[in-house]
Structure 1
Amino acid sequence: MILEGEAIAPSNIAIVKYWGKRNSELNLPLNSSISISLDGIYAKTKVVFDSNFNEDKIIINGKELGIKEKQDYATKVLNIFRNIYGKKIYALVNSTTNFPESSGLASSAAGIAALVYAANSALNLNLTQKDLSIIARIGSGSACRSTVGGFAFWEKGVKDSGEDSFCYQIFPENYWEDLVDIIAIISTQKKKISSRLGMQTSVNSSTLMKCRLEFIERTIPEVINSIKEKNEKKFFELTMRHSNSMHAVILDSWPSFFYLNDKDLEIMRWIQDYGKAAYTFDAGQNAHIITLQQYADVVLDFLKSINVEKIIVSKVGHGPIVLHD
């Protein structure tokens, strides 16, 4: 018996960041978060379940994962699908991204989101988006935010089971049509400290974590309202402050570590002076500069002037798409 499914899912950039877990096994976050799904930046994943296989085989961008790597992400997801399906059937998973992996561009988020949609299609389970976001979250926390398009909200939840920690859309992809994300690819090197290890270190040691969580709780309604009203000035300010908040906690962690470099700091200074855009950094060196279409050329000219050689321009994008022959 052979069952196949294939899907694409978008990368996402968090506006209100996820950094820290209250349950590592289920990837339950310490705070709710908000993100934007990105247009044209995606993972494409094909899954083939075959009753003749005796183990899972996971290939990402042409490289087969080792036992620990695949258990950390994909195998957890596939085990959930096997339990729901009711049969122990192994899979070949082949996933590709059209952007650098492990560099702060949410490659695991897009890949796991694509996997859950592909597996749901292959096994003909007809699970809801809410169900799929919960499964994706267990594979990789921020993957749940890549199960929808537009502006996504991830509920932190309070239950130990995780059943109330899921993701849903708060505004569709065409809501703020002239919003642009200009991504400055500062480095395509793999991160020295993974997000998973970094979060654990911060939760265990950062003295600023409590302040950050209070700041998030207080300002999440303001972030949502700034999007609703398309209040660019407020949205830009809050976007930068939430990025700064996460990276302050990272620097405050012990042993200390950081993801940003001198060029990132130069971008941060210029953007604040410019006043018509916002920077935000996930756990990586690549800057997401969020602005409006009318200001995009000024931002692009600046990035070229500081010798940023690779730039990706994206807009708010759609959610996962299941592919059919």
Structure 2
Amino acid sequence: MTQAVGIARAHTNIALIKYWGKRDKDLFLPMNSSLSLTLEAFYTDTKVTFDDELIKDIFLLNGKEQSEKEVAKISHFLDLFCEYIGKRPFARVESINFVPTAAGLASSASAFAALALAVADALKLDMTRQELSTFARRGSGSSTRSLFGGFVEWAMGTSSEDSMAHPVDDADWDIGMLVLVVDSQEKKIASRIGMEHTVQTSPFYPAWIETAREDLQAMKAAIAEKDFETLGRITEHNGFKMHATTLSANPPFTYWSADSLLAQEAVRLVREELQVPAYMTMDAGPNVKILCRASDMGRLQKALSIHFPAENIISSLPGPAAYVLSEADWQQSKMRLTEGNHI
């Protein structure tokens, strides 16, 4: 192999039943199964070039060469695939994030899902999408779900081989999500650190695990019945329960900011005024996501713009599964980067 190239796009996903805590830190095995909605609005494009003439791995994010620490993360991820094929050529990895990085908007999910699919495409690996998700998981747990579109379950499994994602429903029944971006800066406490601290110190954590399992079964039933309001209520309750574990950790911490609280209150006010079903959820970051009917997004966005700048309220329909891009697609993404149109 002189040179092998793969290019892929993966969209972010927002967990409705949260993944919070690992039972195996090295294999990224979760403490509970989770369920998410893939979003159309946010995604990562990644190009991987394996080249026998390279003497080390190179990683560029949004056109900028990254530090040795960041390259090491990518190298470790590439090692997993190269162990699978029995050889280890070095690679040039170029990613363009159309997602704010490390702000609780699942940038790592789309990033590692895109990287996994690009690698599989470059190396012509004969893997099912479920099998590929077990590799993506080793880069970022939530990336397991970004290989699929619509509603996706990440089954916790019993081992590394069966802790994988699978599609649940295409979410093509008037499903939408608004994202209130109150802060797109990198968060101070990484998800990995926050999870570990919570698992070790929160007295609420065992109850979180038990009720998360119950929530998952109830949510899957609601999706099967296309019962949006039950789906929404479970989403909101599950998300706040997750954040209760961080507040009960020792010492306590939170991913919320003052603006997060203002956003939460704005959502409550608006949904009461409009009398529309709209349900909040938050991940490990300050931004508030609102699960709603796609047909209600316009009214909600207009009403919320009284409380927050309109440009900070992003609407999204359900997103597709990750897919391979052409070189022409890649060049268009690079052009958007040059023009400053990435997030």
Measured against the shorter chain, the TM-score band is: over 0.9
Amino acid at match of 1:324: S
Q: How does 1:38-49 map to 2 (within 5 A)?
A: 38-49=39-50
> Alpha-carbon deviation of 1:68?
2.5
Q: Does 1:253 align with 2:243?
A: no
> Alpha-carbon deviation of 1:173?
4.3
Work out which of the residue numbers 175, 178, 182 in structure 2 matches 1:186.
182
Amino acid at match of 1:269: E
Question: Could you tell me the percent identity over the aligned residues?
Answer: 35
Q: Does 1:278 align with 2:274?
A: no
Q: Distance in 2 between matches of 1:61 and 1:165?
A: 31
Per the alignment, in what secondary structure is the counterpart of residue 234 of structure 2? helix
* Structure 1 contact 113–144 (Cα < 8 Å) conserved: yes
Q: RMSD over aligned Cα, in angstroms?
A: 1.4
Corresponding residue for 2:13? 12
Q: Distance in 1 between matches of 2:40 and 2:163?
A: 25
Range that drifts further, 250-259 or 178-187: 250-259
Corresponding residue for 1:321? 323
Corresponding residue for 1:136? 136
Q: Distance in 2 between matches of 1:168 and 1:71?
A: 29
* Structure 1 contact 10–146 (Cα < 8 Å) conserved: yes
Q: Distance in 2 between matches of 1:291 and 1:109?
A: 22
Q: Distance in 2 between matches of 1:144 and 1:238?
A: 22
Which runs of at least 4 in structure 1 moved beyond 6 Å after TM superposition?
A: none
Corresponding residue for 2:239? 243
Q: Distance in 1 between matches of 2:219 and 2:258?
A: 28
Q: Does 1:215 align with 2:216?
A: no
Q: Distance in 2 between matches of 1:280 and 1:306?
A: 18
Corresponding residue for 2:337? none
Corresponding residue for 2:291? 290
* Structure 2 contact 266–304 (Cα < 8 Å) conserved: no
Corresponding residue for 2:228? 232
Per the alignment, in what secondary structure is the counterpart of residue 79 of structure 2? helix
Per the alignment, in what secondary structure is the counterpart of residue 158 of structure 2? coil
Q: Distance in 2 between matches of 1:236 and 1:130?
A: 27
Q: Distance in 2 between matches of 1:323 and 1:126?
A: 18
Q: Distance in 1 between matches of 2:252 and 2:168?
A: 35
TM-score of the superposition, structure 2-length normalised? 0.90
- Number of aligned positions between the proteins: 320
Q: Distance in 1 between matches of 2:65 and 2:202?
A: 35
Corresponding residue for 2:107? 107
Q: Structure 2 unaligned runs (5+)?
A: 328-343
Corresponding residue for 2:193? 197
Per the alignment, in what secondary structure is the counterpart of residue 305 of structure 1? coil
Q: Distance in 2 between matches of 1:245 and 1:117?
A: 33
Q: How does 1:44-55 map to 2 (within 5 A)?
A: 44-55=45-56
Corresponding residue for 1:36? 37
Range that drifts further, 305-314 or 241-250: 305-314
Q: Distance in 2 between matches of 1:84 and 1:239?
A: 37
Corresponding residue for 1:312? 314
- 1:20-67 alpha-carbon deviations (Å, 9 max, x no partner): 000011110000000011113110000000011121111112232323
* Structure 1 contact 46–94 (Cα < 8 Å) conserved: yes
